[in-house]
Amino acid sequence: RKEVEQDPGPFNVPEGATVAFNCTYSNSASQSFFWYRQDCRKEPKLLMSVYSSGNEDGRFTAQLNRASQYISLLIRDSKLSDSATYLCVVFPSSGSARQLTFGSGTQLTVLP
């Protein structure tokens, strides 16, 4: 089983649509959680951290369910510029390990 699993998509949605991505992780002791976005042939860029209480940043809402080991990202009123690959990222639990573990990404294309 992969440490971080995502639906690879692709998701093709019209402008203005609402789209949701899901992610599960295997290490129940994981400490921190993030969504990054990666544009084609570019570096990953931090989109938002994910907190147990849920958090919102404009059109983006992230949720974490520790009991189910499940993370989600909701994008409302999607824009053409939202087209990218969305990466679910988990930070380890303890010790000297500080590497991020990436899901393989969910590809989103927003269509005009």
Partner 1 sequence: NAGVMQNPRHLVRRRGQEARLRCSPMKGHSHVYWYRQLPEEGLKFMVYLQKENIIDESGMPKERFSAEFPKEGPSILRIQQVVRGDSAAYFCASSPPTLNIQYFGAGTRLSVL
Interface residues toward partner 1, by CB under 8 A:
31-32, 34, 41-46, 49, 87, 91, 96-105
Q: Cβ 97 to partner 1, closest distance in Å?
A: 6
Strands, DSSP E only, in the chain? 4-6, 11-14, 19-25, 32-38, 44-50, 55-57, 60-65, 70-75, 84-91, 101-102, 106-111
The residue (of 43 and 81) whose beta carbon lies closer to partner 1 is 43
The residue (of 28 and 96) whose beta carbon lies closer to partner 1 is 96
Structure tokens at 11: 């998701």
CB atoms within 10 A of CB 103: 25
The residue (of 42 and 59) whose beta carbon lies closer to partner 1 is 42
Q: Is the peptide bond before 10 cis (omega within 30 degrees of 0)?
A: yes
The residue (of 15 and 42) whose beta carbon lies closer to partner 1 is 42
Q: Cβ 16 to partner 1, closest distance in Å?
A: 29
Spatial contact of 107 and 82, defined as CB atoms under 8 Å apart: no
